[in-house]
Amino acid sequence: MLEKRPYCTYKPNKPLDKVSSFRPISLLSCVSKVLEKIIAKRIMWFVLKNQHISNNQVAFKAGQGTIDALLHFELYLATALSYKNHTEVLSLDFEKAFDRIGVHVVLRQLNKWRVGKKVYAFVKSFLTKRTFRVKINGKYSDRTSLYNGIPQGSPISVVFFIIAFDEISKILQKYQLHHSIYADDVLIFSKNNGLLESQHKFSKILDDIAVWSEGSGASISYEKCNIIHICRKKNYPDYDFIYNNVVIKNVKQLKILGITFNKTLNFKQHCLDLRKKLNSRLNIIKYLTSKNSRIHTESLINVTRSLILGVIDYGLSIYGQCAKTTRRLVITSYHTAIRRSLRAFPTTPIKNLLAESGLPSIDERFKQSTLRLIPKLYLTKNSILHKDVKNVITKKRVMKRPSAIFNALQQAKEIDIFCKPTINIQFLLRNFLITLNRAQIL
């Protein structure tokens, strides 16, 4: 169990002639994986029950994911734009966080949380005195000891990582700033009256993280960190953030957990990037629908649903509220894929294509994805997202720039799903009572 055989996977869009372009993944035995899954579930149950992990960390938690962090971040930006506030966003990039985080940080956290002695002994044995060897052309290298880092490829590795990385959240909570963390992706954002004020706060945060990094092994790659200023002004000056003689670039758009946010929050750049991705996948459908192909139409539609619609669905409830002209950037590639799958003529009306394929339009899909947010928002286990929902419900002032959470709650009202504070215990979801009109069900 303590010796691993790493398998190197290639990182996309990286040079093949560099060792840093490959990610080592540990190949472990099946018996070891079963045992580690049992221990991982036990540790996560203990940690979440006692609320040791910060709610700002949404990675590797049941019922939570990237969409939770994106909904909270997008609501914050939409509220700031509605009230004509300025928002400064700092994105931190940790260099090889999995490979460099110290084993002692995990053990220190577990000891502080008073985890069971047997579990602690297992974790200590699992993380210390590890060795590995690499196999190239059928030959093994010499055994090498591994003194730092968390082994990738193990079911329990992600649990250890968020336990160690929770200290970052504790540092950020000292300042009056909002932040979201997904694994090692840290996002800090704040409303400010001036650029100097936010940069002063960011400098203090980076100082504290630098002190923590010296003792933990993790290190920030300042060259890959970015800062973006979001406001309604078109010609707002961009100033780079200089920290310890290193320039942190002030960018016009920033990709956060798969969605590109720009300065005015119109998602035009995200739709442009999405169109490039769809066009590359469209080549697969073009090949499958060539003259010599005998693939059935239903199979081609299923391929379109998974390859094209699956990519569009991610974050659609957030970026789908952009302008119609911006949304057309994505719609064109989607309609082309459907037309190819049905082997239809170029002059075939779009309504006929959608009816024949059984696939929804982008507008219909946007409404469906917004409706899917309703049970997630009401049943969320994340207290931060729950607080956001409560604020949107109780807020009387209408937002000029509606958020995805606001749109979901508005649709809930349209289909007679009401949410109001209650003290009774009938269908109680946190502090809310949901009443559904039976006529809508029948």
- pLDDT value for 142: 79
- pLDDT value for 144: 75
The DSSP string of 316-383 is HHHHTTS-HHHHHHHHHHHHHHHHHHHT--TTS-HHHHHHHHTPPPHHHHHHHHHHHHHHHHHS---H
- pLDDT value for 427: 41
Tokens 């994340």, residue?
Answer: 382
- pLDDT value for 440: 39
In this structure, what token pair is assigned to residue 285? 């459908």
Which residues face 7 on adjacent strands? 25
Kindly report, residue by residue over 159-214, the tens digit of the pLDDT: 888 998 888 888 888 887 899 999 888 999 988 766 677 788 888 999 899 888 88
433-437: Cβ within 8 A, 24+ apart: 434/378
- Between helix 195-216 and helix 157-172 the angle, nearest 10°, is 140
In this structure, what token pair is assigned to residue 124? 């200590």
- Burial class (CB within 10 angstroms; exposed 0-12, middle 13-18, buried 19+) of 343: exposed
pTM: 0.85
What does each of the 442 residues of the chain score in pLDDT, given as a tens digit? 455 556 667 677 777 777 677 776 666 778 888 888 899 899 999 998 888 988 889 988 888 889 999 999 999 999 988 888 888 899 998 888 877 888 888 889 999 999 888 988 988 888 887 777 777 677 777 777 777 778 777 788 888 889 988 888 888 888 878 999 998 889 999 887 666 777 888 889 998 998 888 888 888 888 888 999 888 877 777 777 888 888 888 888 999 999 999 988 899 999 999 999 999 999 999 999 888 888 899 999 999 999 999 999 999 999 998 889 999 999 999 999 999 999 999 899 999 999 999 999 999 999 999 999 988 888 888 889 989 998 888 887 777 888 999 999 888 888 877 655 443 433 444 444 444 443 333 3
φ/ψ of residue 27, rounded to 5? -100, 110
Which residues face 189 on adjacent strands? 89, 178
Of 171, 61, 151, the closest CA to residue 106 belongs to 151
- Burial class (CB within 10 angstroms; exposed 0-12, middle 13-18, buried 19+) of 31: exposed
Tokens 């297992």, residue?
Answer: 122
Distance between CA atoms of 219 and 212, rounded to whole angstroms? 9
φ/ψ of residue 284, rounded to 5? -65, -45
Of 187, 219, 212, 120, the closest CA to residue 160 belongs to 120
Kindly report, residue by residue over 371-407, the tens digit of the pLDDT: 999 888 888 888 899 899 988 888 877 778 889 999 9
Kindly report, residue by residue over 278-307, the tens digit of the pLDDT: 999 999 999 998 888 888 999 999 999 999
